[in-house]
A = this chain, B = another copy of it.
């Protein structure tokens, strides 16, 4: 184990956010401020992830983390993906692109594992499943596994995880469930209590946390740290697209959907989500590749109705402040909230 969670100056972890928002500048700013920054390796080439890691290492000597998506299970029924593709022809036309080819790949799993080991990344977290015990044992890093149910927590600890990222249903982006077709739906506070009753490793709480009071709450609930994603998406260091930022700052509702990637994720309710949510099969990453050109084109145009606006349920409380300032502010407010509750 390369890092103890307890050694963090502030119990604040920046969640890895694939597809743009997570940047080396964001991760470095969070770590420099005394929190723990994270890179998202998903959807990137091995070379691009290596470049990100080197960029963080050039910006800070502090520990940071990299998140990997565990390989998907068996491929989905190609006919189901084909049927879904049929319902998306109008979208392809609207944005002037061809649908992507629905590959069932593993996002460079083996190569990225080698990379994080070679680069001596201090913390490696996994989402969408638990790596085999040999993989966990072989990594010199502190290994975190994302869980959404007490059963997943038990499996992750059995495989040797050093800490668990306990993801409540409030969280933005993908549900980190091991089984993509049966995503956990437990709210963060209930899940923390259930997981604490089941296992005895440090827990990192995530899902809908946007304020110092909420950080204080998960610490009081027994978590070792709070992990925040959406709360960092308006920071100048984040790579969040302008249309996405604008949606986050609104009071729009969020919903869980498979429409964009074939795996359940929480995003702000927009036209694409409303029109395709009911049709989308459980088929990740096939559907991710299928819809990628549409989403890229919509994002490029600034059309917030055509791409995934990942957001946690407290997104309206995100603030456009520098990441380091946000870490310090959250930590200070959390200390005040705990002192107030104790008085």
Contact = CB atoms under 8 A, between A and B. Distances in A.
Given A150-B251, A342-B338, A312 B190 contact: yes
Contacts of A219: 220, 341
A266 B209 CA distance: 23
Nearest to A210: B193
A193 B213 contact: yes
Interface stretch (A68-76, A240-248, A313-321): A313-321
A234 to B, nearest CB: 15
A124 B341 CA distance: 26
Q: Is the interface of A mostly helix, strand, loop or mixed?
A: helix
A85 interface: no
A194 interface: yes
B213 A187 contact: no
A176 interface: no
A221 B337 contact: yes
Contacts of A170: 186-187, 189-190
A77 to B, nearest CB: 21
A335 B196 CA distance: 18
Contact of A190 (B208, B339, B342): B208
A53 to B, nearest CB: 32
Interface of A: 150, 168-170, 186-194, 196-197, 207-211, 213-214, 216-222, 251, 312-314, 316-317, 335, 337-342
Contact of A338 (B169, B314, B316, B341): B341
Given A169-B187, A193-B317, A335-B342, 19 more contacts: A170-B190, A187-B188, A187-B207, A187-B313, A188-B188, A189-B217, A190-B207, A190-B208, A190-B210, A193-B214, A194-B313, A194-B314, A194-B316, A196-B211, A214-B221, A217-B220, A219-B341, A220-B220, A342-B342
Contacts of A196: 211, 213
A190 B222 contact: no
A209 B192 CA distance: 10
Contacts of A221: 213-214, 216-217, 337
B208 A213 contact: no
Contacts of A168: 187, 189
A88 B251 CA distance: 40
Contacts of A314: 190, 193-194
A227 B89 CA distance: 49
A221 B186 CA distance: 19
A66 to B, nearest CB: 27
